[in-house]
Chain A
Amino acid sequence: MNMKKMTAMLCLGAIVAIAGQSVFAAEKQAAPKAEAADKAAAKSPESSGDNAAAEAAIAAAESARKKAASVDGEWRDTGKMIKKAQAALKAGDSAKAIKLAKKAEKQGKLGYEQAQAQQTLKMPSYLKY
């Protein structure tokens, strides 16, 4: 990152802070980056013709969904999102397809992690054994 960019960002940070916007939490990092990527994808001029990227994103989403399902961790809307992504691709809107597929892929990963984290049953503390 060059100095100019950094200064610009610092200013932006200060402006936002002065405006009273809350700024925080390390957890925030990952998601906004993803959002930014989505936005970039949506705005990029060649993206509407980028069918290959959309197909790849849908394939990645589908494999994440299947992986979650393999441990009984699939979420309700993941499959629907993938179907919508496929429809968007068919309709020629690959940017929308990528956005939906990325969301679905994230859900697949989270559902898998959620199930894996509970592989061994831990009885809740409100049950007094």
Chain B
Amino acid sequence: MINMSTRLTSIAAAAAIVLGGTLSISTAVAVDAKVLEEGKTLAFKRKDGNCLACHVIEGGEAAGNIGPPLMMMKIRYPDKAVLRAQIWDSSVRNAETAMPLFGKYGILSESDLDKVVEYIHTL
């Protein structure tokens, strides 16, 4: 049921965006194991997401602690879009953030950022 309602919300969101004339879908990938695996790789790699520099993640080694551990993400971010926005530009919610602006400053491409969001949201 949770899945179903998420899907419905997504459909609504997609429709709204299309009707608003600002379609923003880059690639039509399914959230399958491959996407999650790619997201994880991007999240762990130093040159890409490097989330482990500051966040503890289950299964990640040598993690830092500048930011909070990435866990219970579905509870903390019921809306995936909010999580995405936070990773895209964390300074919107906190001007004094120590987190890089992964989307706004192009550290991750939009499609890579999508994959990272998918993975982080499973934590």
Contact = CB atoms under 8 A, between A and B. Distances in A.
B21 interface: yes
Contacts of A88: none
Nearest to A27: B88
Interface string A1-31: 1000010011011111111111111111101
Interface of chain B, main secondary structure: helix
Contacts of A22: 10, 80-81, 84, 114, 117-118, 121
A25 B81 CA distance: 6
Contacts of B84: 22, 24-25, 28
Interface in B30-58: 30-31
Interface residues of B, number: 37
Contact of B14 (A23, A106, A110): A23
Contacts of A103: 106
B38 to A, nearest CB: 13
A124 to B, nearest CB: 6
Given A17-B10, A19-B29, A24 B80 contact: yes
Interface string B72-96: 0000000011001100110000001
Given A22-B80, A25-B84, A27-B88, A16 B14 contact: yes
Interchain residue pairs A-B with the least CB separation, the first 9: A13-B14, A24-B81, A17-B10, A20-B31, A19-B30, A28-B24, A22-B80, A17-B14, A17-B11
